[in-house]
């Protein structure tokens, strides 16, 4: 089973930017969809964005598109999440994991069917 390791978290000011990385332990198949989830203090874990490894098709949860940009580098077996103008409400532990995007209105509900999580990377948005 592919291991996914998150990095890049830290303190960022509101309106700044931050890029998170997710490194895979081995080559990910083109059909695989992996993505980012997050869990804020006192809240349930939620999906942010996922991407299909082969063609780069991106899926965003409601209200996430535009605020986050997902990308991948298949040569490096690494996926990224750029936070664009983060707000304090984006403070959370961010996890990368396998993903199943389910269409919902104009967006997607993102599901991690394996319910397997790594250590995550903490992002704190504060001035």
Percent helix, strand, coil in the chain, to 5, is: 0, 55, 45
Of all residues in the chain, the percent with pLDDT exceeding 70 is 100
| pLDDT at position 70 over 80 | yes
| pLDDT at position 82 over 80 | yes
| pLDDT at position 26 over 90 | no
Distance CA 72, CA 4 (A): 13
Specify the pLDDT at position 113: 79
Q: What is the mean pLDDT of residues 45-53?
A: 96
Specify the pLDDT at position 114: 79
Q: What is the mean pLDDT of residues 38-43?
A: 96
**13-32 core/surface letters (b: 16 or more CB in 10 A; e: else):** eeeeebebbbebeeebeeee
The residue behind tokens 């750029």 is 82
Mean pLDDT of all residues belonging to the chain: 94
Specify the pLDDT at position 60: 96
Residues 6+ apart with CB under 8 A from 22: 4, 5, 6, 7, 34, 36, 78, 79, 80, 81, 96
Specify the pLDDT at position 48: 97
């Amino acid at each position: 089973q592919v291991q996914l390791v998150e990095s890049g978290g830290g303190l960022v000011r509101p309106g700044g930017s931050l890029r998170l990385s997710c490194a895979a332990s081995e080559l990910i198949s083109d059909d695989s969809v992996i993505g980012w989830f997050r869990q804020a203090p006192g809240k349930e874990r939620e999906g942010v964005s996922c991407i299909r490894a082969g063609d780069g098709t991106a899926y965003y949860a409601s209200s996430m598109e535009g605020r986050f940009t997902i990308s991948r580098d298949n040569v490096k077996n690494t996926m990224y999440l750029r936070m664009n103008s983060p707000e304090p409400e984006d403070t959370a532990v961010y996890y990368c994991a396998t993903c199943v995007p389910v269409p919902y209105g104009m967006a997607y509900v993102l599901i991690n069917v394996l319910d397997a999580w790594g250590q995550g990377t903490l992002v704190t948005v504060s001035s």
